[in-house]
Amino acid sequence: MHLTNSLELFPEFAVTQLLFKDVKNCSELRKMAMEGNITCALINPSMVLDPLQTLLAANKAVHVQKIGKMKTRSLYSEIIFSLSPTNNISEAFKRFGISENDDACLVVLVHNTDEAYNKDDVVSKVDGQQIPTDQLSRLSDLAKIKKLYKVTSQEEKCGSVLDAVICRMAAKDVV
């Protein structure tokens, strides 16, 4: 169901992703996340093409936390911020965080490699049905993603939309 990846650059950490559909309490979850009562990143799955996209965002978030260069308040908000192609923080939360009317949710957790993450804690808080993370692409809104990341048809000639998205996330700090 869930997907756990180790971070080669930070072997002490692992990232676990869980995907839920038919979520009924998104507004409540959002509130909890904002108040810091739920320690995970709650992401709008329509903006994610592939678990690799969020995994890269998590990797980058851990990296900037380690070097003390976070632009937002917590590791989890940094994951959401890293997904965004722009440096506008509130815009990033609006686009990539869950909003009140959403009915699906991608949960991203960063935990110690040797400790099992507190899965039950999250699962019990989400009022929805967990589905395998490899179904993520079925929930993604390709047109919206292309528009937000400004992916042109020309660029699709030399790679996938996912490639284009990944490049923009990685290059955000240098352009």
Partner 1 sequence: MAAVDGVGARALPYLREAELIKQGAEARVYRIRFLGKSAIVKERFPKRYRHHVLDEKLTRRRTTQEVRSILRCRKAGIAAPVVYFVDLSTNCIFLEEISDSVTVREHIAAAHAVESLRDLAEKIGKVLARMHDEDVIHGDLTTSNMLLKTERSGELTLLLIDFGLSFVSALPEDKGVDLYVLEKAFLSTHPNTETLFQKVLQSYTAASKRAPAVIKKLEEVRLRGRKRTMVG
If residue 110 lies in a helix (H) or strand (E), which one and from where to where?
strand 105-112
Confirm if 32 and 125 have CB atoms less than 8 A apart. yes
**How far, in Å, CA of 154 to CA of 121, rounded?**
45
CB-based contacts of 77, cutoff 8 Å, min separation 6: 41, 93
Check binding of 70 to partner 1 (CB under 8 A). no
If residue 13 lies in a helix (H) or strand (E), which one and from where to where?
strand 13-21
- Provide the residue type at 8 as one letter: E
Least distance in angstroms from the C-beta of 34 to partner 1 = 28
Task: State the binding string over 73-102 for partner 1 (x if CB under 8 A, else -).
Answer: ------------------------------
Check binding of 34 to partner 1 (CB under 8 A). no
List 1, 34, 116, 170, residue binding partner 1 (CB under 8 A): 170
Return residues touching partner 1 (CB under 8 A): 5, 7-9, 52, 55-56, 59-60, 63, 67, 69, 152, 154-155, 157-159, 163-164, 166-168, 170-171, 173-175
